[in-house]
Amino acid sequence: MFLCLTVFSQNGSTDLAPLSGIWENSNRIISIREDNSLQFVLKTFYGFYFDKTAILNAYLDSGENGETILRIKYPSEKKPQAHPIGVINDKLFLDFYCRTNLESSEDTNVYNENNSLLFGYWRCCGNVKGIEVAIPASKEELICYYFTNSEVYFLRYWQADVPYERETVQVNDGDFSFKVDKLLKVGDIVYTCVVGRGLFVRNFEKTTYKINENTVSFGTDSEKKLPLYLSQDGSLVAFSEPYIIRSEITDLESTIAEHNSHTHNPLKNPLDVFKRKTAWEEKLEKMTIK
């Protein structure tokens, strides 16, 4: 099990200091600088060339559910755009979930130490597909989870043009029932799981699950395993690989200069395959008439 530390903006601070440093994935480097700006470096041409692109101003904010939001100011937009993020052990996730307790203290569904590590309701807190030099694309639908000790419920939410209010709705599955959010506000977008003034979730799916140290599998196919990253305090979880991780690069400028000084072998022309001779053609060329 990954037991990791979570980084949030503290005391209402908008400073990027908790995230300062260099982060990267296979196609980009993002330097979070002391002047509260982001320097983007794209790994173009299959990573052969590091291309310095935009520098954008940004700050940290807190979402409706306490999650950290990275707000980036794009030149074409008046309002900074929200990027909800979850950071676990120097790994930054865009797909992550916050543990949420909507039950009363008298309810038997409340989490206790005898239950599964994932027991309870997990609210989806991420809805952007990337941190880029362009305005982020937001997801139209989200999935929230409710875990019992052996089963997991999948709850679908979709974008809704309604005012955000804190309300709950009921999920009934025979004798078992629990509460979830009627509306989610993720970043600046509102999502719902019911139509109109509905009080019950009509459509949901469920299956079994199994935790295997640092992975989790849903359903009976134990071969289909998802990564499992759980924060040290149990408040955040992610079922996917991180979007970016903290880089070992210490001097970005010298790294770019050194990388771009290399001479790479040119890519092979795919049309050359049609110029190759077949084995029979090669044999005929070697044949001589006596």
Structural domain includes residue 84: yes
Structural domain includes residue 290: no
The share of the chain scoring above pLDDT 90, in percent, equals 71
What pairs with residue 176 in β-bridges? 173
Structural domain includes residue 289: no
What pairs with residue 2 in β-bridges? 229
pLDDT at 4: 42
Which region among 51-65, 123-137, 263-277 has the lowest average model confidence (pLDDT)? 263-277
pLDDT at 245: 98
Res. 66 pLDDT band, cuts 50 70 90: confident
Is the pLDDT score of 276 beyond 90? no
Q: Look at 33 and 1; give whichever has higher pLDDT.
A: 33
Domain, as residue range, for 21: 2-283
Q: pTM of the prediction?
A: 0.84
- The whole-angstrom separation of Cα 106 and Cα 30 is 46
- The whole-angstrom separation of Cα 217 and Cα 59 is 36
- The whole-angstrom separation of Cα 96 and Cα 64 is 15
Structural domain includes residue 180: yes
Res. 224 pLDDT band, cuts 50 70 90: confident
| Token reading at 94 | 């865009």
The share of the chain scoring above pLDDT 70, in percent, equals 83
pLDDT at 119: 95
Which region among 20-24, 218-222, 286-290 has the lowest average model confidence (pLDDT)? 286-290
Is the CB of residue 164 less than 8 Å from the CB of residue 181?
no
Question: Which phi and psi angles does 54 have, rounded to 5°?
Answer: -75, 155
Q: Look at 66 and 274; give whichever has higher pLDDT.
A: 66
Got the DSSP string for 128-154?
A: BS---SSPPPBPSEEEEEEE-SSEEEE
Render pLDDT for 73-117 as a digit per residue (tens, 0 to 9): 999 899 999 999 999 999 999 999 999 988 654 444 455 566 889
Structural domain count, the chain: 1
pLDDT at 58: 97
- The whole-angstrom separation of Cα 253 and Cα 65 is 38
Element (H, E) at 211: strand 205-212
Structural domain includes residue 126: yes
Structural domain includes residue 288: no
pLDDT at 107: 47
Q: Which of 155, 151, 144, 153 is nearest to 208 (CA)?
A: 151
Structural domain includes residue 185: yes
Res. 8 pLDDT band, cuts 50 70 90: very low
Is the pLDDT score of 24 beyond 50? yes
Helices (H), the chain: 44-47, 252-260, 279-286
